[in-house]
Amino acid sequence: MELFTVLVAGFVCTVVLAFLFALKRNQYWADRGIHQYKPLPFLGDMLPVLLRQKTLGEHLMEMCRAYPDEKVIGFYFFMKPSLVINDLELLEKVLIKDFSHFADRGPQPKDVVHMNLFSTTGNLWRAIRNRFSPMFTTGKLRFMFPQISGLGEDFMNLLRTKREKVDMVDYFGKFATEVIGVTAFGLEGRAMEENSEFRVKAKKIFEPSFSNYVRFVLGPSLMNLLGLPPTNSELLNYFGPAVKNALKYRRENGVVRHDFIQHMVTLQQKGTIEVDKDDVSDEILMMDHVPEMKVEMSDNLMIGQSMGFMVAGFDATALTMGWLCYELAMHPEIQSQARQEVKEVLEKHGNRLDYDTVREMKFLSTCLKENGRLHSALDVNFRMVTKPYKVPDTSAVLERGSFVYIPNLSIHMDPKYYPEPEKFLPDRWIAENDKSSCKYLPFGTGPRMCIAMRFANMEMMCAIAKLLLKFEVSIHPSTKLPPQIEAYSFFTYPRDKLYFNLKKLNA
Ligand code: HEM
């Protein structure tokens, strides 16, 4: 009985102490004179997200609206005190001017998958970014266009087979997976096939699910600590050999293509990436100058990059196209105007759809831009503090290893920057002169912004131009309107599927 009493007392004491600690933890920012929202013990500000009531982006927007004049707002990611940046000038410092203080996305496990550009940190990231940026020059993209366009044709053929109640996010997913499959894995004709294994595996990476969300919330370090695999090993076992085989095939057969795999083969032929002490591109990457280093261009590093392109690339692209399809279906007059422009540009150029003619489709590109504002694939972004930082004009000091959050949705929906922000108004971009790089963030900004933005825009313009020529898109009556965003998702997936009808046009 006595032992039982001691155990109960011990348990109660532990709970009370943990609770007091959690309460104290929630005072972290208030004690430093920074406004904070309504953190709860242990859960911090995450309860609405956990209850699936709001996405993290929606929740941060609510916080920013509650304190419109505060440059930063204290935010608790569970028990971890972080800051939300609520001021564009300060955001410019975080993402661009003072980049060396915010260079990483967080600690990562040292496995093959996390060797990718999105996840790597410090010098390794710097070395890889330096050597992979040339893959996205205008010249390279121009060469890649015919391949993407060919896949776009296959995609149109696929759509011809299903024109009623089409889940376009899923269909664009097939197309975007195929594009990455061909260009980054050297695998052709896989993702658009019925029950394609490649597509099924790729979908698993980020599909909205509780397990994927837990993986994201806990992060690799906590997953490791709990003895859970931070990476889905099934995916690595599938995609790893695919890249190895593609590299081997290209090397042994002398096959030369204009794609990412080819760039990797060329890099491998050079042996190592050498980063000089005073690399000129540091000016662009805004890094502190670092010691010389050599990075071996191993197969594993290449697998990491291909996986990274898959992870960072196909979901965001498919989702963005899916949302654009939604906006065009909801605004038939804008859809007609965009279609008319595509026809006119093509007629002017003898029906040639290529890198340059697509760039002439100015109205379509404003539709894409406005869609990126309203439906950014990431409604929130973040950076880890890599060097202590005194936040200018505030009493906040950020310690190494803490996080700052970038409230993309809040910025994109702020009437200060975008009048009538909830409306889809492509024309707002025609007269847009404000060059502030931080008020438009679908691809992020600064040295760590999406490396493939121009590639993704080219791919999307190509696919949407083809779609507009071949089909008229309308909402299927079973689609729940207005769509809600899934809170248990890294990307802004609709909670319920968006279904469309496609009417074939005589083009
Ligand atoms: C519409 C399509 C896409 C969107 C909206 C998008 C968006 C983003 C965003 C928001 C980031 C983070 C930027 C930051 O933190 O400032 C990012 C990073 C990245 N994206 Fe994209 N992305 C798209 C397509 C692609 C594609 C097709 C690829 C690959 C071919 C790709 C590869 C990457 C990589 C490698 C990074 C990490 C860059 C680094 O940390 O240096 N993305 N993307």
The best mutation among 443, 448, 492 to test binding of ligand 1, ranked by most ligand atoms within 8 Å of the C-beta, falls on 443
Going by the annotation, the residues of the binding site for heme are 450
Domains assigned to the chain: 1-106+379-425 (3.30.43.20)
pLDDT tens sequence across 466-489 = 999 999 999 999 999 999 999 988
For the annotated binding site, the residues are 450
Can you give the pLDDT at residue 478? 97
| Widest Cα–Cα separation across the chain | 92
In this model, does residue 286 exceed pLDDT 60? no
- Average pLDDT over the chain, rounded to an integer: 89
Tokens standing for 321?
A: 């196209």
Closest C-alpha among 18, 94, 92 to residue 402? 94
Q: What is the pLDDT at residue 291?
A: 58
For residue range 197-212, list pLDDT tens digits in order: 888 877 777 666 676 6
The pLDDT tens digits for 18-43 are: 989 989 999 999 999 999 999 999 99
Would the CB of 144 count as within 6 Å of ligand 1? Answer: no
Q: Is the pLDDT of residue 348 over 90?
A: yes
**CA–CA separation, 342 and 356 (whole Å):** 13
Does 317 sit in the ligand 1 pocket, CB within 6 Å?
A: yes
Identify which has the larger pLDDT, 312 or 47. 47
Average pLDDT on 162-191 reads: 87
Residue with tokens 């294994």: 197
SS3 state of residue 26: coil
- pLDDT-derived band of residue 300, with 50, 70 and 90 as boundaries? confident
Least confident among 52-56, 93-97, 179-183: 179-183
Amino acid at 303: I
Position 122, amino acid? G
Counting atoms of ligand 1 from 1, which one is nearest the CA of 459?
27
Q: Which of 223-232, 240-249, 264-273, 453-462 is predicted least confidently?
A: 223-232
Going through 270-401 in order, the beta strands assigned E by DSSP cover: 272-275, 293-296, 381-384, 389-390, 397-398
Query: Between 503 and 295, where is the model more confident?
Result: 503
CB of 368 closer than 6 A to ligand 1? no
Confidence at residue 193, expressed as pLDDT on a 0 to 100 scale: 77
Neighbours of 214 (CB within 10 A): 13
Banded pLDDT at 58 (limits 50, 70, 90): very high
State the complex-level ipTM: 0.99
Atom of ligand 1 nearest to the CA of 381: 15
pLDDT digits (tens, 9 = 90+) for 359-412: 999 999 999 999 999 999 999 999 999 999 999 999 999 999 999 999 999 999
Q: Which of 21-35, 130-144, 290-304, 311-325 has the lowest mean pLDDT?
A: 290-304
**Is 285 a residue whose pLDDT tops 60?**
no
Average pLDDT estimate for 184-199: 76
Smallest CA separation from ligand 1 atom 4, residue:
316
Question: For residue 292, what pLDDT is reported?
Answer: 67
Report whether pLDDT(497) > 80: yes
Instruction: Show Cβ contacts of residue 309 under 8 Å, excluding neighbours closer than 6 positions.
Output: 116, 180, 183, 184, 260, 452
Strand order across the 166-167 sheet = 166-167, 499-504, 471-475
pLDDT of residue 240: 84
Atom number, ligand 1, closest to the C-alpha of residue 441: 10
CB atoms within 10 A of CB 324: 27
Give me the numbers of helices (H) and strands (E) for the chain, helices first please. Answer: 20, 11
Which pLDDT score, from 0 to 100, does residue 115 have?
Answer: 85
Q: How far apart are CA 239 and CA 185, in angstroms?
A: 8
Q: How far is the CA of 407 from the centre of ligand 1 (A)?
A: 17
Higher per-residue pLDDT: 24 or 2: 24
